[in-house]
Amino acid sequence: MTPFANPGTLERSQGFRVAAMLGALLLLLGAVGIAGADTIQDVRERGTLKCGVNGEVPGLSYRDEDGRWSGLDVDFCRAVAAAVLDDPDAVELVALTPEERLGALRGGAVDVLARNTTWTGQRDIAEGASFVGVLYYDGQGFMVPRKTDTLSTLALNGAKVCAISGTTSIDNAKRYFTRHRMALELILHPDLAAAAEAYLAGKCDALTTDRSQLHALRSTLEQPAAQRILPEVISKEPLGPAVRDGDARWFDLVRWTLFTLIEAEELGIETGNVAAAKNRAESDRVRALLDLEGTTASVLGIEPAWGYRVIRAVGNYGELFERNLGPASGLDIKRGLNALWSAGGLMYAPPAR
């Protein structure tokens, strides 16, 4: 000990060194666990993909009275299962609430989360989730009874607004009303069904959530025309599939499944012509997209031609949108931002080659 050393200071210094050593050890153990993660192998050995979804939103993920599933998110789960297992039906769909979803992903209850979840920095960085891309560009809106003649959110000063707890809708609404110097009373509910029930019972003046959910809810009502979705979009809600942090191969496979769907639409490859495209493909771009040489499959540890399997099973992104959200679905949601970049939208995939 030096002549001027304070014993308390020395103890604190030693404590800091011990804490630093323990922190380094924990990081090392975490890195070992991460390095050992192999979701692709787990899914292949299990023979099924566990996919977290919502289950209450027609057009995104919905289970009807007969137990049949449909929706954009559901089709994405099927696409991943086709890539890994060559069987789009080898999917266990797990309905999750907003509060459950990220914990279920972190804890391994699901392999991938495709539950209309907004990609935010906090979720991506601090909550153990890695978002692979954007499956649907959404935005928050408001629905009101048409009989009120309310035509704008700016007419909602002092309104009681039903919202879903555990979602970005809460802070978005608070910021929007504060910015426009309007009073707001938020009434929170655990899920869309509860919020919708309260709204329809007249317990709140408006219902706020992602516009896709508002369109979906309205389509299920006995009198859809009695509800008006206001024109303002108050937030950015990029909805994207997510996987657990620390498994690079799984992240790559799920991300490139999404890119395959988008790139296939750009190339005009769809369910009806993908077999012919496989048999006649000469361009490097198409052969790489379908993985006909097995180049990416060998790195991922799956069977070759996985891009072909994805498109054969569910089609391209345009087909998914049309049957789940477009005119064919009954929702008639316009492509808007979800159109290809070449058609004025934001859907853009890096080339596979």
| pLDDT score of 2 more than 80 | no
Model confidence band, residue 3 (pLDDT cutoffs 50, 70, 90):
very low
List, for residues 279-306, the tens digit of each pLDDT value.
999 999 999 999 999 999 999 999 999 9
What local confidence, expressed as pLDDT, does residue 164 receive? Answer: 95
Instruction: List Cβ neighbours of 71 (8 Å cut-off, separation of 6 or more).
Output: 53, 57, 58, 59, 60, 61, 62, 324
3-state class (DSSP) for residue 129:
strand
| pLDDT score of 172 more than 70 | yes
Instruction: List Cβ neighbours of 203 (8 Å cut-off, separation of 6 or more).
Output: 160, 162, 187
| Calpha distance 249→254 (Å, rounded) | 9
- Which of the two residues, 327 and 138, has the higher pLDDT score? 138
Burial class (CB in 10 A: 0-12, 13-18, 19+), 294: middle
What local confidence, expressed as pLDDT, does residue 36 receive? Answer: 55
Instruction: List Cβ neighbours of 340 (8 Å cut-off, separation of 6 or more).
Output: 262, 265, 266, 318, 347, 348
% residues pLDDT > 70 (the chain)? 90
Q: Taking the model in full, what pTM does it have?
A: 0.85
Other C-beta atoms closer than 10 Å to the C-beta of 263 total: 27
Other C-beta atoms closer than 10 Å to the C-beta of 108 total: 12
The mean pLDDT value for 27-54 works out to 77
Identify the weakest region by mean pLDDT among 8-17, 33-42, 201-210. 8-17
List, for residues 322-347, the tens digit of each pLDDT value.
999 998 898 989 999 999 999 999 99
What local confidence, expressed as pLDDT, does residue 4 receive? Answer: 34
List, for residues 56-99, the tens digit of each pLDDT value.
899 999 999 999 999 999 999 999 999 999 999 999 999 999 89
